[in-house]
Amino acid sequence: MNQLYEMLGRTYKLEFDTFIGGHSSIPYEKNLIVAHRKNIENLVVDEKTKASIFGIETYSSVYEGEEGKSKIVFSLDRI
């Protein structure tokens, strides 16, 4: 999660207005990167979001603010 947080910080410093993420072809506003970083800063491990994806136990953390809505799916061994 630290690597993702740092990469998002470096990416935000680049000059662009929109980006396309890895799981969608929808263009997102640059400020969504701020929402993703805030989500990581306040990451919530909520048992209610526990799921199994390809046999890996995952959780979802959601942050919603003026920057946009961020949803991060993660496994506990990757935080």
Q: State the pLDDT at residue 46.
A: 93
- 49, with CB counted inside 10 A (0-12, 13-18, 19+), is middle
pTM for the model: 0.89
Work out the pLDDT band at 22, boundaries 50, 70, 90.
confident
Roughly how many angstroms between the first and final C-alpha of the chain, as a whole number?
5
Checking if the pLDDT of 43 tops 90, the result is: yes
Average pLDDT, stretch 57-73?
96
